[in-house]
Each structure stands twice: as structure tokens, then as C-alpha cells.
Amino acid sequence: MEIDGVDTSPYIEVIFKGERRGYYINAEKVPLEEGQHVIVEAEKGVDLGTVGAIGPTAYMKSRLRMRPCKDEMKKYVRPATDADIKVLLFHREQEMTAFQICLDKITNLDLPMKLVDVEYQFDRNRITFYFTADGRVDFRQLVRELAAEYRTRIELRQIGPRDEAKRMGGFGVCGRELCCSSWLGMFEPISTDMARLQNLTINPFKLAGQCGRLKCCLSYEAQLYEELLKRFPPLDYRISTEKGEAKIEKIDIFQDAIYVHYQQDNGWDRLTLDEVNVYINSPVPPKEAKKPTPEDGKRHKKRSQDDGKGRKKSSRNEGKR
């Protein structure tokens, strides 16, 4: 299948430990299936992973993460054998040992960093140590000690809190596996504006995910809310009704309902979108104040005189006291 004139059939996506993903070219177009273990080219060697997508799906994913160029992309080598899988499992056991060794060295060197994960390249030409830290860390001495321990290339890679959650995995408050560690390939910017669009309470504890950052799922429906809210007047918009002036306080996009607050009597009302549009297009004029008459003036004057006499009498009584 071609997309924009590009033959997508040789593209494959391969998933490694910690949801690390790479995109490769199956030059010989060997039949592959999703979930199959394969050997692919790596930097100065080969690595073993699982096929995540093939063909057009892999090509479209690669476009989101990189500029797909067949000349620059590494290649698929061969399918993994049972012996390869046994080697991979052995590496997983060795990674736990390497984790503890590195952790001890970090403690001895008193480095301000948190070790997250260790990953062996399949051919053991490289060991990658993932860590988090608040700032830059001078880990040159740590690299020297690890290189002396393992006699191979050592890479220390600093990652953020979201990547840490992605590598470690877990379950969200929804009861499902974390999106980032199961299917979400890339992180998108998340803001509290997305929560406001969906009428969610801005509570940092409820909006934060396992990583301590805003949940990725806040963005899943944000675009839908943004499109639907275009049909509604903005919050705090004021309309004139038979009951008086009202301010829009809340919008329910699913029921086409708008909740308004009346300024005069501090009351609330639930109106439909159609009703509000009628008030916007044909506002109800405010009730005119009653014009004063000559008799109103006489009554006001008499009331003022009576009030004055009352004040004089009260002051005399106070003097007698």
C-alpha cells in the first residue's frame, strides 16, 4: 500500500523493553506478524524486540516520531529463534543484578539521582541505565566504575517523570493499564485549560497521574469539547430575560443546557441553548422605573418634615436626661 507515493509495505515498528519503540525497514519484505519477536539492527550491533505494527500503520506512526527515510532507517535482520528468547530472558535477570550494583555505586558516590531501569542491548554491546534527577548530574565517575565492572559501552540516560512511569508501568485510577506503558507512543502537551473545557474541578491531586504530571487522558476529548463549545455563548456572558439580567455560570454540552444566575434575587435557572439564543438575538428590555409624580414629591417632603420633628424631640428628651 502506498501513502503519498511511498511504498509502506516494508515499514515495521518494533517495541523493546520499557515501551521503547523503533522503526525499521524490512527490505526483503519477509512476512511478519504483530507480536512476533525479531532481530533488528542497533547501534554497533543488533537488538531483539517485538513487532508492534507493520505496513501503513508502522509508516504513519514513524511519521509522528521521525522523518521516515529508508536510507537512514535501520533494517530488520531476521526472526528471533527460541535460543534468542532464552538469551533475552537471561539478560532480564542480569539487568536486576546490574540495577543493584549501579544503585550501590550511586549511594557511595552520593549522587543526586534516582535510578529507574536498566536495559541490556541483545548483543551486550551496550548497557543503558535510565535515571531521573532534578538537574544536571556529573556522573562521569559512575560511568568509569560501571565500564570497569562490565567491560562494555555504558550509557546513562536522564528521563523525565512521564518517561519513568512509561518504563515502570502500572495501573491508573480507571483500573486499566497506564496508557503510556501500553499503547500511547508519544506524549502530548497537557494543560489545565483542557480540564476547564470539560468542566473538571482544578484539583491537582485528582488531575495528576502516576507520574505526578497532568493525566494524558485529559487531552483525549479536549478537541471534541472545544468544537461543541463553539455553539454556546461563553461563560460569564450576560443575557436579559423576563426575570431580569442573568449571567451564564455553567454549560452542559451533552444536554444542550445552560445554567444562569440572576443578579437581582440571587436565583438560578436552567435554560436550553435555544432559549438562550432567543434571549441573545431578541433581548428582553429591562423594566422601566416608575416616573415620580407631584403627589410623590409632596409625600416625600412631608415624610422629611416628620423625620426632622422626631429628631428634634429626641434631642430635647436627651437634654432633659
Sign of CA dihedral 176, 177, 178, 179: negative
Place of cell 549511594: 107
> For position 305, what pLDDT does the model report?
54
Bridge-based pairing of strands 153-158 and 126-132 is parallel
Q: What is the pLDDT of residue 69?
A: 56
Query: pTM of the prediction?
Result: 0.73
What pLDDT shows up at residue 124? 93
**Sheet-wide strand order for 76-79:** 21-25, 11-15, 45-54, 37-42, 76-79
Whole-number pLDDT of residue 186: 80
Is-contact 302 309, C-beta < 8 A? no
Q: What is the pLDDT of residue 290?
A: 42
> Domain 86-159, what architecture?
2-Layer Sandwich (3.30)
Structure confidence at residue 306 (pLDDT)? 53
In the chain, the amino acid numbered 179 is C
List per-residue pLDDT tens for the chain, 321 residues long.
Answer: 777 778 889 999 999 998 899 999 999 999 999 999 999 999 889 999 999 999 999 988 888 776 555 557 899 999 999 999 999 999 999 999 999 999 999 999 999 999 999 999 999 999 999 999 999 999 999 999 999 999 999 999 999 999 999 998 899 999 999 999 888 878 889 999 999 999 899 998 999 999 999 999 999 999 999 999 999 999 999 999 888 899 999 999 999 999 999 988 888 999 999 999 999 988 776 554 344 445 544 544 455 555 555 554 444 444 444
CA distances from 319 to 67, 305, 308, 311, 312 (A): 97, 21, 17, 13, 11
Cα 283 vs. chain centroid, distance in angstroms? 41
pLDDT in tens, 251-304: 999 999 999 999 888 889 999 999 999 999 887 765 543 444 455 445 444 555
